Amino acid sequence: MDAAQRAQIRVVLVDARNPLNIGAAARAMVNFGFDTLRLVNPYPVAFQEARSAVRAVGVLKTAEQCGTVAEAVADCALVAGTSDSERRELKHPLRRLENGARTIAKAAASGPVALLFGSEKFGLSNDDLSHCHWLMRIPTLAEQPSMNLGQAVAVTLYELVRSREAARARPAERRAAVAAESERITQMLVEVLKQSGYVNPVIGASTLAKTRRLVRRLNLESADVAVLSGMLRQILWKLNSR
Amino acid sequence: MDAAQRAQIRVVLVDARNPLNIGAAARAMVNFGFDTLRLVNPYPVAFQEARSAVRAVGVLKTAEQCGTVAEAVADCALVAGTSDSERRELKHPLRRLENGARTIAKAAASGPVALLFGSEKFGLSNDDLSHCHWLMRIPTLAEQPSMNLGQAVAVTLYELVRSREAARARPAERRAAVAAESERITQMLVEVLKQSGYVNPVIGASTLAKTRRLVRRLNLESADVAVLSGMLRQILWKLNSR
């Protein structure tokens, strides 16, 4: 992964609670040459402490705070989550870190990519996960899967820079929809489903989260977003004109 | 690297000064399935604190304290050091972590191997290095080479287990929708669009053909076909119940 690709990576920490872990994640970013850090809903004291630490790195000073995951990934065409186990409820494909990193390198050759890391204690929630196209797993032992946040970030970024083949990746020809576009489709579809009285028959996650996952799995192209939203707008208009 | 090989690895921390880093190194060992930790001349308070931490892992309880590097590596046929830069004085070969890890895996198949990590502040001294057969370097940026100790241990151990896990892990199975399934979705969507009064704004091909292409581009999974057709059926029902 070359410098231009690294510049497209957004490291997103969701609900981080420990200033040392926030600092460690930032330091690993500096070591491996990544510079865009976004914190979703960090514990304010932790964020403050991490930023004011004597050895706080520049990445932390320019870190962006976001209210929601949707905001943090809005400019990204690919959103990859990290998880220490399969999350069956939302049917995410789970890739080994190596394979995920290859795909990320390719995507980063043509646009922004978000890497989502969950809180130290709970990982990513179903709602966080619903924003992800797929998940990566670091090959820890099944009986001791849960890594320290700073170490998980370090290992993930190492894997991204490790491979030389990744640096040679060519840009994709089709432009994938960015998260804001997928989210627009998601919100419209949910509205249509609400107006239609559709109730998601599968229990365990909200209709919104399920629908978001469904839309992410569709691998929407940017060019199709306009068509789909036109369709949904019309359906919605018709449903409301009753 | 299998369990028998991992059991041959001795993680050796030289002059460690920070209890959090000692704890983090131990935790990474647990995550990746290594269990022999040796501390050479640790700062006594730091070692004590790390061991008595609430979340201290078993590896720390059984960690051996050694007075010298020589003692810590005495049973090892291969001693690999870690360094963030070339150390010309001793003319050590410097390998990329990946290459070093391959050699270590081979050696661990026939006997104990030591991995040496230096202090947070100074790395390994010339005297420490003189015990090493060669050095490995994690591919950090030349201008920001120095990693946090716990993260360096995590990345190194990840690299050791990576390839073995890679060989075993298989990508999650997804079954793509067959043409009949995609066509069912297409027909339902077209019916919904008709009922909604949607007119395709693009002239030159029928709405049906455009919609069919759109649905094919979505790369539907078979499992999603049921969900989508349930949604469309409900929307259609609602549209018709006006």
DSSP string, A126-191: HHHHTT-SEEEE----TTS----HHHHHHHHHHHHHH-HHHHTPPPPSS-BPPHHHHHHHHHHHHH
- Looking at residue B88, its pLDDT comes to 60
Q: Band of the pLDDT at B136, cuts 50, 70, 90?
A: very high
- Looking at residue B232, its pLDDT comes to 94
Q: DSSP for A41-54, please give it.
A: S--HHHHHHHHHST
Q: Where is pLDDT greater, at B88 or B187?
A: B187
A188's tokens: 């419209």
Question: Is residue A242 over pLDDT 80?
Answer: no
Strand partners, B37: B11
Q: Is B213 on the interface with A (CB under 8 A)?
A: no
Q: What is the mean pLDDT of chain B?
A: 85
CB pairs under 8 A between A and B: 163
**Residues A99-122 pLDDT 10s:** 999 999 999 998 999 999 998 888
- Looking at residue A118, its pLDDT comes to 94
**Residues A14-40 pLDDT 10s:** 999 999 999 999 999 999 999 999 999
Q: Band of the pLDDT at B171, cuts 50, 70, 90?
A: very low
Q: Which amino acid is at B171?
A: P
- As for the ipTM of the complex, it is 0.75
Rounded Cα distance between B120 and B141, Å, is 17
Task: Tell me which chain B residues have a C-beta less than 8 angstroms from the C-beta of A202.
Answer: 227
Q: Is A105 on the interface with B (CB under 8 A)?
A: no
**Residues B4-52 pLDDT 10s:** 999 999 999 999 999 999 999 999 999 999 999 999 999 888 888 888 8
A149's tokens: 């946040």
Question: Is residue A168 over pLDDT 50?
Answer: no
- Looking at residue B202, its pLDDT comes to 52
- Looking at residue B62, its pLDDT comes to 92
Please name the member of B146, B171, B196 whose beta carbon is closest to the beta carbon of A235.
B196
Cβ separation of A144 and B30 shorter than 8 Å? yes
- Looking at residue B208, its pLDDT comes to 80
Q: Band of the pLDDT at B166, cuts 50, 70, 90?
A: very low
B157's tokens: 């151990």
Cβ separation of B31 and A145 shorter than 8 Å? yes
- Looking at residue B14, its pLDDT comes to 96
Task: Tell me which chain A residues have a C-beta less than 8 angstroms from the C-beta of B169.
Answer: 96, 139
- Looking at residue B223, its pLDDT comes to 84
What average pLDDT score do residues A63-81 get?
93
Burial zone of A25 (CB within 10 Å; 0-12 exposed, 13-18 middle, 19+ buried): buried
Question: Is residue B86 over pLDDT 70?
Answer: no
Question: Is residue A167 over pLDDT 70?
Answer: no
Q: Band of the pLDDT at A160, cuts 50, 70, 90?
A: very high
Q: Band of the pLDDT at A173, cuts 50, 70, 90?
A: low
Helix or strand holding residue A217 (H, E)? helix A207-217
Q: Is B177 on the interface with A (CB under 8 A)?
A: no
Most confident residue range from A83-97, A185-199, B187-201? A185-199
Question: Is residue B167 over pLDDT 50?
Answer: no
Q: Band of the pLDDT at B204, cuts 50, 70, 90?
A: very low
User: Residue A67 CA to chain centroid, in angstroms?
Assistant: 14
When scoring A29, A90, A146, A162 by the number of chain B Cβ atoms within 10 A, the one with the most, hence best to mutate, is A162
Please name the member of B33, B155, B171 whose beta carbon is closest to the beta carbon of A141.
B33
Q: Is A12 on the interface with B (CB under 8 A)?
A: no
- Looking at residue A205, its pLDDT comes to 57
- Looking at residue A29, its pLDDT comes to 96
Structure-token match 């083949």, residue found? A165
- Looking at residue A210, its pLDDT comes to 85
Q: How many helices (H) and strands (E) does chain A have?
A: 12, 7
- Looking at residue A171, its pLDDT comes to 46
Cβ separation of A148 and B239 shorter than 8 Å? no
Q: Band of the pLDDT at B87, cuts 50, 70, 90?
A: low
